[in-house]
């Protein structure tokens, strides 16, 4: 496949996207223009930081560097880690009440806050996702690089072959950054960055008791309340175009099922390179993404204040760490149970629905375009859009059953989770479905096997191990979802994301740090189980 093919096919969509954005900015009032421009600038700033680091990490993975499997597993777990956990990891050192902030003697004056903190946290969250995308793209360049190694030095190969073939994926990453940063509100709410999604949520929160941060300025509050339908429509159309371009381009990279299966060979154990440079880069990335954040949480969770010679002094002890973790697990037991119930229900619905839709898309070009369009529409909806839309729908209903469903069940939260998390899960399901060859589908059709039977055989039964791993990953994503579901939770029900976000507003103390460690442990355990299941499924497909 021509490396420029996927990029060339979406250039008309990119042009349309720019036209929609420019026309929208011209027609909107100045305040709305500012909000939309801030949203776009925020996403691009995070992408500029994340892309170079992700590219280096992907090159090291592709070369089979030392600690390669450990880095790959860490990236998979970090790719599904919720943004508010990244906030907790860095605020536990640099934010209010952070151990490094306290060491400077300014416990309520964070060392990292506002715009720079929000961009950094989002960039850290995007690095694992970008790395996995670059890694899959690099697998397609391996043949060209191996041929060039006979005549050219490695530096020339990187700049003239590898980097050039990665340019379409750079565009893909920029589009994904725009989608992610425009949809979620946890980071922007904590650092008070007035993106459109955050302004919508802030306007919704004006009528909620204790839901509004106390240090928003009156001008920002009035701006949030005045966000109207037209700027939201402009962003929605813009994100639909961005998402459609992203998913169409990604589909171009995995169009051929045989090349797609070959692309995942790197996910299986392979020999490691002894390159000192690669090993140094892998160690530095693991230090940045894993060691430092986890150390911050462990140190904060195990720190207590004791009086020594009449002076309050911070002391760390392992017993304090264990006590904080056990106390958080006990105090927020119900939150973990509710989050798990919502996550299991949502992920099951996501997998079943996405398998059905992706199977239809496999056998029909029209259904494939509908799949991309549906995924783009869901990806264009921010968390507050989904939550406020469900609230409006159920609140205006005169049906007692619908009102009971909204007020007394977790159904709306499940629906919000399904819509918000469906795009990412559908991408992975489509990758699995695409492994079914067209010959198998055509032979079954010639033998007059019914559509339902074909869907059960090729959609579920043939890939059930892979779908089990995907279901686990979807469960972890749904467990941590915050932006959409927290607006539709019934009274008396709290989830782990909701509790954590509420505590993060006051700073990261030992309880918040312990709660974050528990969430990290749960997500990592799920990611490891999914890794083992998916790797075994891929190996069986290759050998079978």
What is the per-residue pLDDT across 381-392, written as a single tens digit (0 to 9) for each?
888 888 888 888
Q: Give the pLDDT confidence of 411-434 residue by residue, as tens digits.
A: 999 999 999 988 888 878 887 777
Opening angle at CA 256, ends 442 and 77, nearest 5? 115
Distance, in Å, from the CA atom of 2 to the CA atom of 86, rounded to the nearest integer, reads 38
362 CB-side CA count, 13 A: 30
pLDDT in tens, the chain (544 residues): 344 444 445 556 566 666 766 666 666 666 777 788 888 899 999 999 999 999 888 888 877 666 777 788 888 889 889 889 999 999 888 888 788 887 777 777 777 788 899 999 999 999 999 998 888 777 766 655 555 555 666 666 666 666 777 777 888 888 889 888 888 888 888 888 878 787 777 766 655 433 444 454 555 545 544 556 666 777 777 777 777 777 766 666 555 434 444 444 444 444 444 467 777 888 888 999 999 999 999 999 888 766 565 566 677 888 888 999 999 999 999 999 999 999 999 999 999 888 888 888 877 778 888 888 888 888 888 888 888 888 888 877 778 888 888 888 899 999 999 999 888 888 788 877 776 666 566 566 666 566 667 667 666 777 788 888 889 989 998 998 888 888 888 888 889 998 998 888 888 888 899 999 999 999 999 988 988 888 887 777 666 5
Give the right CATH number for 1-197+229-296 from 2.40.50.140, 1.10.3720.10, 1.10.600.10, 1.20.1250.20.
Answer: 1.10.3720.10
Is the Cβ–Cβ distance between 99 and 300 less than 8 Å? yes
The token pair at 538 is: 């891929």
The helix or strand, by DSSP H or E, that contains position 304, with its residue range, turns out to be: strand 303-308
Which residues face 64 on adjacent strands? none
Cα Rg, the chain, nearest whole Å: 24
Give the global pTM: 0.83
| Phi–psi pair at 148, nearest 5 degrees | -70, -25
Q: Which residues contact 89 (CB under 8 A, 6 or more apart)?
A: 292, 293, 294, 296, 297, 516
CATH superfamily of 327-544: MetI-like (1.10.3720.10)
Opening angle at CA 334, ends 331 and 349, nearest 5? 145
For residue 366, CA distances in Å to 9, 362, 429 come to 17, 10, 18
| Phi–psi pair at 244, nearest 5 degrees | -60, -45
The token pair at 205 is: 């929160």
Distance, in Å, from the CA atom of 84 to the CA atom of 90, rounded to the nearest integer, reads 10
**Strands 311-316, 303-308: pairing kind:** antiparallel
The token pair at 285 is: 């990335």
Which residues face 312 on adjacent strands? 307
Distance, in Å, from the CA atom of 278 to the CA atom of 276, rounded to the nearest integer, reads 6
Is the Cβ–Cβ distance between 505 and 454 less than 8 Å? no
- The CATH 1.10.3720.10 domain(s) of the chain lie at 1-197+229-296, 327-544
Please, what is the end-to-end C-alpha distance for the chain in angstroms? 25
Is the Cβ–Cβ distance between 83 and 184 less than 8 Å? yes
| Phi–psi pair at 193, nearest 5 degrees | -105, 115
Dihedral angle over CA of 514, 516, 519, 520, nearest 10: -100
| pLDDT over 70 percentage in the chain | 72
């Amino acid at each position: 496949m021509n490396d420029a093919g996927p990029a060339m096919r979406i250039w008309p969509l990119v042009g349309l996207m720019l036209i929609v954005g420019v026309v929208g900015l011209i027609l909107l009032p100045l305040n709305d223009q500012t909000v939309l421009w801030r949203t776009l600038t925020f996403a691009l700033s995070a992408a500029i930081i994340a892309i170079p680091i992700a590219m280096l990490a992907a090159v090291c993975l592709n070369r089979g560097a030392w600690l390669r499997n450990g880095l790959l597993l860490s990236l998979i777990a970090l790719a599904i880690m919720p943004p508010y956990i990244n906030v907790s990891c860095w605020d536990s050192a640099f934010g209010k009440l952070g151990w490094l902030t306290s060491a400077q003697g300014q416990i309520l004056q964070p060392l990292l806050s506002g715009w720079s903190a929000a961009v950094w946290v989002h960039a850290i969250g995007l690095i694992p996702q970008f790395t996995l995308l670059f890694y899959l793209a690099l697998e397609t360049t391996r043949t060209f690089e191996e041929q060039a190694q006979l005549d050219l030095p490695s530096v020339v190969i990187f700049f003239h072959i590898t980097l050039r073939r990665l340019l379409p994926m750079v565009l893909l990453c920029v589009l994904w950054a725009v989608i992610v940063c425009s949809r979620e509100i946890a980071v922007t709410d904590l650092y008070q960055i007035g993106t459109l999604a955050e302004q919508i949520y802030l306007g919704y929160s004006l009528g909620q008791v204790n839901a509004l941060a106390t240090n928003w300025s009156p001008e920002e509050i009035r701006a949030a309340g005045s966000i109207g339908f037209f700027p939201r429509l402009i962003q929605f159309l813009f994100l639909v175009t961005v998402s459609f371009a992203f998913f169409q381009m990604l589909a171009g990279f995995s169009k051929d099922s045989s090349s797609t299966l070959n692309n995942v060979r790197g996910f299986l154990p392979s020999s490691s390179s002894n390159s000192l440079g690669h090993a140094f880069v892998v160690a530095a990335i693991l230090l940045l993404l894993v060691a430092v954040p986890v150390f911050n949480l462990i140190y904060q969770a195990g720190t207590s204040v004791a009086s020594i010679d009449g002076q309050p002094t911070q002391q760390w002890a392992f017993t304090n760490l264990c006590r904080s973790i056990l106390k958080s697990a006990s105090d927020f037991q119900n939150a973990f149970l509710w989050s798990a119930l919502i996550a299991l229900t949502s992920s099951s619905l996501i997998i079943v629905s996405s398998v059905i839709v992706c199977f239809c898309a496999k056998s029909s070009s029209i259904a494939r375009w509908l799949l991309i369009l549906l995924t783009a529409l869901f990806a264009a909806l921010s968390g507050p859009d989904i939550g406020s839309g469900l609230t409006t729908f159920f609140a205006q209903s005169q049906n007692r059953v619908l009102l009971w469903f909204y007020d007394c069940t977790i159904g709306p939260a499940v629906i919000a989770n399904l819509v918000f998390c469906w795009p990412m899960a559908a991408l992975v399901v489509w990758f699995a479905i695409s492994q079914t060859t067209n010959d198998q589908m055509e032979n079954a059709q010639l033998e007059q096997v019914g559509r339902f039977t074909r869907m059960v055989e090729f959609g579920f039964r043939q890939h059930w191990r892979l779908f089990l791993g995907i279901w686990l990953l979807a469960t972890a994503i749904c467990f941590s979802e915050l932006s959409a579901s927290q607006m539709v939770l019934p009274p008396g029900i709290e989830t782990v994301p909701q509790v954590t976000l509420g505590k993060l507003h006051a700073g990261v103390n030992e309880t918040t740090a312990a709660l974050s460690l528990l969430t990290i442990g749960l997500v990592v355990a799920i990611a490891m189980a999914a890794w083992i299941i998916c790797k075994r499924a891929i190996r069986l497909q290759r050998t079978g």
